[in-house]
Structure 1
């Protein structure tokens, strides 16, 4: 759905466009990130979770700028599954009658994703051509915070983040689709249209690459990857040595965390807001502001953490998550929450 048009027919990009992103967790508890092309109109050269704007093929939804356009719903979920397929080639769809996952070979998936991207066919039409009872597997998606681009940014989005866990496997180097049968689905780029690379790595390794300066990541990616790493990994261990039972336990702890807090992370709305800087010059971004569109709605952000970041021409660098109490004096923290 396009943003509202200003007088004269120009698009008003200050209106947040509804979009979805999915944090896809592999059977080895690694995370899929995509490296965007340099020429991308959004987040050029950055490493991001698969995702994109909601479109008319995702069903009926409140248009950009509507008060309800930020509320989580089936349209956000369908967009997350569709965009994951378009950008990485990984298909998460099931037969709605049997509940079994739909298996499509790699060649068919490649043909389908490119046809959908070119608007030659919709995602749902393509799915029905594979299996009349096929539908996106939106049930396992777990909301994991909602982010609204700061008002000072020219191009804005209102983005629902989700967790999706692929079934655990005792075998390494395989991507298993949900269901009783296993299927290897290796993520690939879209041929350089928007994505140059798609791959799974441990969350801690993605964070290491960002800290080293080898990957550009925005605050939402760094914050959510830090949570994934905290719950799914242990320092110094190899994924192949972790039992299926232990992996399942860690996943359950991450899900419990997503449902914890006040509000829980499933319901947090965050529009990063600058409130100062630290001695090294990095900006301090508060996470308790919900954005101008949601003020007075009762929605709340994250009151206890802040982001430190240095914005450069190529994007954010030196992104770090810290406890607010360690960085911001109490009186300043109180004012930032008003």
Structure 2
């Protein structure tokens, strides 16, 4: 992927489609792929907006269109997130014939039941900072043993496929970027389209160890914020990685905005690693990091993880008696 496209998608994943499209339009010599993207984003986000939905069920299509309108509003700053959510509640309430006083959480519980009757899985909630469900049809269940820096975990992974909606992240990138998955207290959920080779580092480290770390933290440190959870899981990725590839991804996505846990965690890691590796406030250039042996970066990531774990053990006290 070119640097221009990487920057474009980075802005999309920061929830700023306006800036992403403005950046794409500013590229002087566009490739055919860039021109096609520009046209597709114009069709999706601007007048007259249009998105194809593969489902034939009118109920399913109408619900998804409601979320599309919500995504469009928050991703292009048409209104505030609060106002967009109120409008979403109004639309979903009418579809479900629910009282206007219903909360979005109760409406999404009802939607989950309705989608189940139609053969779909529906998971509502928030992928910070925006709402937006994941809707998929197929899944298979696998079991794995996962080694973490200070623990081993047996995990159940639900491999999901045939998605109709991947929350706001899929919509913001015209389905060119995917949510890899997520962790719950007792299981992991994985988007199978992202991981063709289950022995590759992308799955074994960037998905499996990352999400297993979340599960471990849910158990031992249950009050961590999403940004704190991502900070620790991303450090685990760096500890077990063999080269600079994951770090380069973090460098690109880093953003000092706690509303976006993934970019903010990368920003924290970039700052903290820079102090250890370069003895300076922040080093943003990938070329400078490339000059460092990766073993040095991995060791620094382990030091940050160990220090963070020790601090959390002190703060959580009695909650971590079974830790290690």
**TM-score where L is the length of structure 2:** 0.29
Higher helix share: 2
Name which one, 1 or 2, has greater alpha-carbon Rg.
Answer: 2
Q: Which has the higher contact order (CA 8 A, sep 6+)?
A: 1
Higher normalized strand content (fraction of residues): 1
TM-score (norm 1): 0.28
